[in-house]
Amino acid sequence: MSVISVPQEFNEEDLYVDVEPVFGRSLLLKCEGFNFAGSIKLKAAAEMVASAERGGSLKADSVLVESSSGNLGVALSMIAASKGYRFICVTDSRCNLTTRLLMEALGSEVRSVAGEESNGGFLGARLDYVRSLCASDDRCVWLSQYSNPANWRAHYLTTAPQIARSFPDLDVLFVGAGTTGTLMGCARYFRDLRLPVRIVAVDTAGSVAFGGTPGRRMIPGLGMSMRPPLLDESYVDEVVRVEEADTIRACRRLAGRGFLFGGSTGTVVSGAVDWLDRRGARDLTAVAVAPDLGERYLDTVYQDNWVRDLYGRGLLDADRPVSATPGTSAA
């Protein structure tokens, strides 16, 4: 029996879903959505807040400020409510309505910026707004998930060791790339232990995190409109890029078997299955980190009109295959 007094004390660490019955490839998903924040971002949020408290920059009257497309904002909202901090989340139009309402229910202020960039991203406008908030009020503390080493350290201390304990013979680990906190924490851990684990980063098409041509991205979570400051490509063996249409297909195929996962998870699964398919690999021990659950995507990924309007009627054909396009090798 678990008894907790603050919501961030609980996170299910040892739950994996075997998706071979769905996709025909041996792949285990490490489910990170079973906590009160509903995503893996709880780990980064908790470690960044704790680090700021230890360093003395976060005080009782501080105002937490962060840019987020959704999941980190929810995690910080939960922690801020638990600890008594005021929190302002700066987001944009791609933030799901459910996510925004959840943050507001937890007492946070949600401010949505306009100003889409030429490469289709909103990050620059969000960061400019955060900087203006900090300049106007010296109580504001910006945790900066994009450059804060506590982001990757959270996964170096928790996510990666748990995977290593459960799978001592792990061959390949698939990790989605957003801020690259999860990716870098896991990759650094396995490198430091000198374990022969192949690290495959899964990015969304249109993201420029690993270079390439920017493009429209409508599903929040993975992908960046700039190179992530935390990223060190020397730790990454390979990059796979996934079209958003394939993210939706993967999510809906999983839902068809009763597993309602979020958009970030759909992207990682699609990229991982494609990687395994292209290699014909059936004897590998393969794990993918599943960052989120699907309830916050009910009005987007799982909403037929939204999908049809943005991606066309053909995407709703459940029989179409899940695929991805390989990126360039980083090793």
Per-residue pLDDT for 205 more than 80?
A: yes
Residue 212 has pLDDT above 70, yes or no: yes
Q: Which amino acid appears at position 57 of this protein?
A: S
Percentage of the chain modeled with pLDDT above 70: 93
Quick check: 37 and 5 in contact, CB under 8 A?
Answer: no
Pairing of strands 86-92, 109-113: parallel
Distances (CA, A) of 184 to 149, 190, 211, 261: 10, 10, 17, 23
Q: Mean pLDDT, the chain, as a whole number?
A: 92
- For 99-129, what is each residue's pLDDT tens digit? 999 999 999 999 998 866 544 457 888 999 9
pLDDT given at position 95 = 85
**Both structure tokens of 278:** 């292209």
The number of C-alpha atoms within 13 Å of 180 and in the hemisphere containing its C-beta is 27
- What pLDDT is stored for residue 115 in this prediction? 64
SS (H, E, C) 202-221: EEECCCCECECCCCCCCCCC
Q: Residue 327: is its pLDDT beyond 50?
A: yes
pLDDT at 53 (0 to 100): 97
Inter-residue contact 294 to 251 (CB < 8 Å): yes
What domains lie within the chain, and their CATH numbers? 7-35+149-321 (3.40.50.1100), 41-142 (3.40.50.1100)
> What does pTM read for this prediction?
0.92
Q: pLDDT tier at 186 (50, 70, 90 boundaries)? A: very high
Please compute the mean of the pLDDT values over residues 289-318 and round it to a whole number. Answer: 91
Residue 328 has pLDDT above 80, yes or no: no
